[in-house]
Amino acid sequence: MSQPVVLVERPADGVGLVRINRPEARNALNLEVRKLISRHLTEMGKDDATRAVVLTGNEKSFAAGADIKEMAEAGTIEMLQRGIHKLWRTIAACPRPVIAAVNGFALGGGCELAMTCDIIIAGESARFGQPEVRIGIIPGGGGTQRLTRAVGKYKAMKYILTGEMFSAKEAFDMGLVSEVVPDGEVEKRAIEIARQIAELPPLAVQLAKEAVLAGMDAPLTSALAFEAKSLQILFSSQDQKEGMRAFIEKRKPKFSGR
C-alpha cells in the first residue's frame, strides 16, 4: 500500500509537522498534495494544541514545482475550476506561524509554497527558482508578487524572466531565507524554532503575525494603527498579566493561551 502524499507528524509539544511525501516525483505539487496541505494547515490553525507548524519535504526536494503532467493539456476553464489560487490563499492564511524547512529543490510552486510561510530555514545545498517562463507560463501561486516584495524588483525580475535557479546563500543575501544551516540540520533547526515559538503566548504570537502581514500591504499610518490596536487588545489577555508578573517576579511564565 502506497504511503500518503502528505504526512502529519508531532515532533514536539505544540508543534505540528506537515511533510510532502512524493519522492518519486520530487514532491511535485499535484492537486491532491495542495488540497491536503491546505486541509492540514486549516485544521492546525483551529487546534489549540498546535502553536507552530513546520512544513517540509525530504532531503532531496522540498517541492520541485507543480505537477506538469497534471496540467499540460488543461484548458482555461479547467484551470479556473480547479481553484488552485484559492488553495494558495488558504495555506497563506494559517493563523499559526509556519516554518518552511527547505532541502534540495524549491522551484516554481515549491518556491511559492515556501514563500507563503513565515520563516524559511534552508539547507546549504538548497536551490530556489521560478522557472515557469521556460515552459510557456508565469508563476501563478504568488511568485511574481511575493518574490518581488521579498527581494525587490530588479532581483525578482532577473529570476522570473530568465527562470534561473539561485542558491540558498543567494536567497539569504537577498532576504528571502531566514537562516542557512547544514543540510542535515534543516528539519531539526526548524523544529527548534517552532518549539521556541510554541512556548510563547499564542495570542501575542498570532497578533504579531497578523500585524506584520496586514502592514505589508497597507500604508504606514494604517499599519501602525493596526499594530497599536493589536497591542491594546492583548492587555485583556491572561497571558499578558502572567507574562509581566513573571518578569517582575523573576520566574518562568506559564502561558495558557487566554
What values do phi and psi take at 52, rounded to 5?
A: -160, 150
Q: 92: burial class by Cβ within 10 Å (0-12, 13-18, 19+)?
A: buried
Strands (E), 45-202: 52-56, 61-63, 98-102, 105-107, 119-123, 127-129, 165-167, 179-181
Strand order in the sheet with 127-129: 61-63, 105-107, 127-129, 165-167
Lookup result for grid cell 495555506 = 91
Lookup result for grid cell 521556460 = 134
Show which residues are catalytic.
112, 132
Strand order in the sheet with 119-123: 6-12, 15-20, 52-56, 98-102, 119-123, 179-181
Contact present, 165 and 127 (Cβ < 8 Å): yes
Contact present, 179 and 122 (Cβ < 8 Å): yes
- Where does residue 255 fall: left (phi above 0), alpha (psi -120 to 50 degrees), or beta otherwise? beta
Q: In one letter, which amino acid is 84?
A: I
